[in-house]
Structure 1
Amino acid sequence: MADGSRNIQQPVIETIEEFDPADLEDLCEAAEEAIIDGNGFGWLTPPPRSVQQAFWKGVLMVPVRELYCARFEGRLVGTGQLVKPFSNNEASGHIAQIATFFIAPYARGYGLANGLLAVIEKSAKEQGFKILEADVRETQEAAISLMESNGFNRWAEKKNYAWNGERYVDGYFYNKLIASLD
């Protein structure tokens, strides 16, 4: 975003459709901190910066993914993706998912996670989705609390869902009805 928004001091949630170099660097730094903190959406150790940059740029190229970022003190500090089903998935076309959801440790406690979740849910609802889903490792207590305090229902658990670098941990699957199924 080359529009001067890096000077904004209050928390902001925004859709990202392209990166300016400073925002991409901020996002990679935030992701590295989240990975080190154990909330790396799959990564156990931060990959090289070039790998991260390619990952985030790739997200913007996938037509069924919308990238939302939390900005704090002018810098990108977290993300969440709204992942929509491909058009050939008519049977599950009413369900969208949340992916790569995190807030860097240094930006937590300011309501960014709640704001990010609300924006993603609003977008899903406006696009006609009826159910929003997410999955979370059992060790991610803040994410579990976020899901449950925002009306998400834990509908399943999966044993040995992920390796956290020390042991296998279970996964929790959540969903939320965001519109009538009628």
Structure 2
Amino acid sequence: MVGAAAALAEREMSDTITAVTLNLADYEIPAFTEDTAASVPDSVAAVRAIVAGADAIFMSSDEYTGAFSSVFRNAAGWLGQDVDGAGNLFQSKLITLCGAPTGGVGALRGHPALHQFLLELGANVYSQKFELGSTAKLLGPDGNLSPTVERQLREGAFAKLTEMPA
């Protein structure tokens, strides 16, 4: 979903949005503890650099048993703590949080917990829930977002991202 949304932003809003995608699964991020924070691994430094360089974040997270993924929770430890002198990278960052259900309610069950968690980390969160019914309606046969989702993104998450002062 995030990749298709990034393609939409590049195609239709390249004058106001520069899309950079980040998939935490592509990085080996060790477990965060106060002890490990003293030495920042290269993979964590790379993720921190991407997040620090973003004016805002369009985010989707997997949902597990009514909450967000442990992969994100661990990464948030590295991103939300001042492990390299750059501070808490979530502080005052606009995050548009989106999710689409895989069947029934899917990712939407984890939204409230993730929304609250991001607020606790100091982020400014806008949460958008797509009116789909299931992710089967998320993408069209061409791999692009359905017209319904595109409209919802333009009027919701993307509109919030472009309201930000320069």
Q: TM-score, normalised on structure 2? A: 0.34
Larger fraction in strand: 1
